[in-house]
Amino acid sequence: MGIHTLAGWYPMVDNIIEVEALKVHFPVRGGFLQREVGPVRAVDGVSFFVQEGETLGLVGESGCGKSTTGLAVLRMLPVTSGKITFEGIDITNFDQNEMRPIRRRMQMVYQDPFGSLDPRMSIGDIISEPLEIHRLHNNKADRRDRVTELLLMVGIRLDMIERYPHQLSGGQRQRVSIARALAVEPRLLICDEPVSALDVSIQAQVVNLFQELQEKLGLSTIFVAHDLAVVRHVSQRVAVMYLGTIVEIASRDELYASPKHPYTKALMAAIPVPNPVLEASRAHQTIDGEIPSAQRPPSGCRFHTRCIHVMPICSEIAPELRSEGNSSVACHLYS
Amino acid sequence: MASTPLLQVRNLTTQFGSGAGAFTAVNDITFDVNAGETVAIVGESGSGKSVTALSILRLVPTPPGHIVAGEVVFEGIDLLKLSDAEMRAVRGNRIAMIFQEPMTSLNPSLTIGLQIAEPVNLHKGMPWNMAYKKAKELLERVRMPDAQGRLNTNPHQFSGGMRQRIMIAMALACEPKLIIADEPTTALDVTVQAQILELLKELTHETGAALILITHDLGVVARYADRVCVMYGGKIVETADACDLYERPMHPYTRGLMASIPRLDQPAGVRLVPIIGQPPNLAQLPPGCAFNPRCSEAAERCRRDTPNLMKAGDGHSHACWMVPHG
């Protein structure tokens, strides 16, 4: 079994990507001698996989390590420990040269469509640049055809091809970023908050575009976002992160219908629903405090300082992710 | 009819720039805020919601902006007719403002104790030592841990959520009758957003202050607002009681917004229905209704005449030619 793409033939694997016990620590220096005073544990032991054609949502609040996880999977950040397997190949220790052909098959869409497009390049050039870099179409006419095809795919009018990013709206820029990422026919797309900078009416357009592209192209996606409602629309499975760890991972329906981890429950309760009648009957119990520093994470379960169900064991032993029905939860309440 | 509203905004119009580049950010808007109620102004970027807030407080940067028409009647006095000195006596005293970015609206080089005590000293003439005591009480009311110890610290030592608590303490310092909060939690995480909004709700209830909550989040509106004004292209296109608005949105833009938000109270497979096109550029508004290029119901009249708010029921008004009124 295999799959033919523009970039050649690849073996079929069940899991496009497997991440095992991934840790990404950033050194912090301080004091007079600029000695290392202990790392920021941005990602601290995260394991997950993404299947062929599947979208995994990675949600959490700022500082939970969701973006760092995305960048580490692309090997754009040094990995402290753990293992990343892409299409069956261990890429954890690949250098930049070895990564280049891999990156053709895993592409990234960033949050800020203003900062991630070169203001001095036309839309056509932005989208054809990856084709040149990866030498996929050596002929100018072919490249032009591919750019046209991509613009149609993401819903950008063809007369925009000569325009520059500043002449486009936020939604259009994000469509261009998506077209650029799709140009080289990647098998894995990593999207870091791709719709959170957009206005509500435009956000819905881009969310729908993601859904269409997933259906049409069978892309595997890691969708990093803080908005649980958006993630629900595009993901088949969802992982909830807190302070560098995954606290719960489950199929979408399972997670939203019956969240198990107290943090997942608190997150859901904190999101107001656009329905005043329903809101009036909902309990507005808020969790106290804010996310602690990733430099000195709490002992045991990292959520124990804010958890309403906290038990003595929680501050001593870090709970492992365990299967609980159709989901996996890292919480002593379920072990 | 109950007593006169606390705030009556009448035909308020604010323009920016001059000559060919001039545009109208707030275009002939009229709404009331009653004592003690929460009115949400909701809209997307460029809808004019923030400029509305700045215009009420006369904080529009001039030039390039200037209020060209209308009245802002607060407690029976038209704020637009006051001298600068008289206006300063209102700001931070009778009307307080909470901004989106607590880091840029707090002075980084002054202690938070001084910043909270300052309005009390300035407006109420309270001596500094008393004002500092009051500042400590205010910090306790916004549930700042170790309030006494925190008086002498600077804003950079606090997280975003804590800074927003400091902003709320400052806003409450002179017991204002009206608080205007411009996207107070947009920069915060959801769990912290929930804490701050609950706190704001609790404190406005306690003090009886009215609140104008400016936001783009229809979920936040549903949870906290009594009444809602929906803005688009510098105009209020629909206003109603919150429950009424969500149950019977009338203006095509409001209906479009409701259909385009991903929501947790719907089945997961539901496709969002986006509004086509882009939000308008205020400098190049189309003739007629500003929403007409994106509206599936637009007819010839919509492209020619600009609709104003028209009554469509008890407390419910909208500005659309195509939707029946009354």
DSSP letters, B148-178, are: HHHTT--GGGS-HHHHHHHHHHHHHTT--SE
Are B189 and A226 a contacting pair at CB < 8 A? Answer: yes
Residues of B within 8 A of A61 (CB-CB) are: 189-192
Average pLDDT score over residue span B37-46: 93
On whether residue A110 sits in a domain, the answer given is no
Q: What average pLDDT does the segment A71-92 reach?
A: 93
* Chain B residues with CB-CB distance to A278 below 8 A: 222, 265
With 80 as the cut, is the pLDDT of residue A6 above it?
no
Is residue B196 within 8 angstroms of chain A, CB to CB? no
Please identify, among A129, A163, A185, the residue that sits at the C-terminal boundary of a domain. A185
Per-residue pLDDT band for A311 (boundaries 50, 70, 90) equals very high
Q: How many domains does chain A have?
A: 2
How high does pLDDT run on average in chain A? 89
Cβ-Cβ contacts under 8 Å for A60 (sequence gap 6 or more)? A66, A226, A240, A241, A242
Contact A156, A165 (CB under 8 A): no
DSSP 3-state assignment of B259?
Answer: helix
Does B186 reside within a domain?
Answer: no
CB contact at 8 A, A192 and A224 = yes
CB contact under 8 A, A274 and B273: no
What's the mean pLDDT in B315-321?
94
Is A113 within the bounds of a domain? no
pLDDT value of position B1: 47
d(CA B128, CA B132): 6
Shared domain check, A280 and A210: yes
Mutual angle of helices B112-124 and B128-141, in 10-degree steps:
120
CB of B90 within 8 Å of a chain A CB? The answer is: no
pLDDT, tens digit, 9 for 90 and up, residues B208-227: 999 999 999 999 999 999 99
Considering the domain architecture, whether residues A12 and A136 belong to the same structural domain is answered as no
The answer to whether B274 contacts A201, with C-beta atoms less than 8 Å apart, is yes
- Residue B148, in any domain of the structure: no
A277 and A228 in a common domain: yes
Q: Average of pLDDT values for A14-29?
A: 91
Residue A96 lies inside a defined structural domain of this protein: yes
Same domain, A138 and A43: no
If contacts are CB pairs under 8 Å, which of residues 36-55 in chain B contact chain A? Answer: 44-45
Supply the pLDDT for residue A7: 46
**Do A221 and A86 share a structural domain?**
yes
Residues of chain B contacting residue A274, judged by C-beta atoms under 8 Å apart: 218-219, 221-222, 246, 258, 261, 263, 265
**Residue at A170 is within a domain:** yes
Contact A334, A301 (CB under 8 A): no
Boundary residue ending a domain (A144, A160, A185):
A185
pLDDT > 70: percent of chain A: 95
- Band (pLDDT 50/70/90 cuts) for residue A22 is very high
The band of A34, judged by pLDDT with boundaries at 50, 70 and 90, is: confident
Read off the pLDDT of each residue in B119-145 and give the average, rounded to a whole number. Answer: 91
Considering only CB atoms, A232 lies closest to which of B258, B264, B275, namely B264
Q: Which residues of A touch B278 (CB under 8 A)?
A: 169, 171-172, 202
- pLDDT of A133-186, one tens digit each? 888 887 888 899 999 999 999 999 898 899 999 998 888 999 999 999 999 999
Q: Phi and psi dihedrals of A134, rounded to 5?
A: -95, 10
Burial group, residue B7, by CB count within 10 angstroms (0-12, 13-18, 19+)? buried
pLDDT at position A4 is: 54
* Domain-embedded: residue A111: no
pLDDT at B190: 87
The answer, yes or no, to whether the previous bond of A39 is cis (omega within 30 of 0) is no
CATH number of the domain where residue A248 is located: 3.40.50.300
Query: Taking a C-beta distance cutoff of 8 angstroms, is the pair A17, A220 a contact?
Result: yes
Q: What is the mean pLDDT of residues A50-78?
A: 92
- CA distances in angstroms from B318 to A274, B175, B239, B309, listed in the order given: 20, 34, 6, 5
Give mean pLDDT, residues B114-129.
93
Lowest mean pLDDT among A5-14, A231-240, A246-255, B258-267: A5-14
Q: List, for residues A189-241, the tens digit of each pLDDT value.
A: 999 999 988 888 889 999 999 999 988 998 899 999 999 999 999 999 999 99
Shared domain check, A242 and A155: no
- B153-175: average pLDDT: 90
- How confident is the prediction for chain B on average, in pLDDT? 91
Q: What percent of chain B has pLDDT over 90?
A: 69
Over residues B53-68, mean pLDDT = 91
Residue in chain A closest to B242 (alpha carbons) equals A276
Core vs surface per residue A293-332: b (16+ CB within 10 A) or e: ebeebbebbbbbbbbeebeeebeeebbebeebeebbbbbb
pLDDT at A11: 54
| Cα→Cα distances B39→B32, B135, B183, B212, Å | 9, 28, 13, 5
Number of domains composing chain B = 1
- pLDDT grade for A107, boundaries at 50, 70 and 90: very high
Domain span at residue B12 reads 7-36+46-85+229-318
Check which CATH number belongs to the domain holding B63 and give it. Answer: 3.40.50.300
Per the structure, the complete domain to which residue A154 belongs is given by 118-185
Amino acid identity for residue A186 in this structure:
P
* Contact between A274 and B246 using a beta-carbon 8 Å cutoff: yes
Residue A299 has pLDDT above 60, yes or no: yes
Q: Does residue B299 belong to the interface with chain A, where contact is any CB pair within 8 Å?
A: no
Q: Do A125 and A251 sit in the same domain of this protein?
A: no
Q: Which residues does chain B have within 8 Å of residue A276's beta carbon, measured at their own beta carbons?
A: 222-223, 225, 242-243, 246
Q: Per the domain annotation, does B134 fall within a domain?
A: no
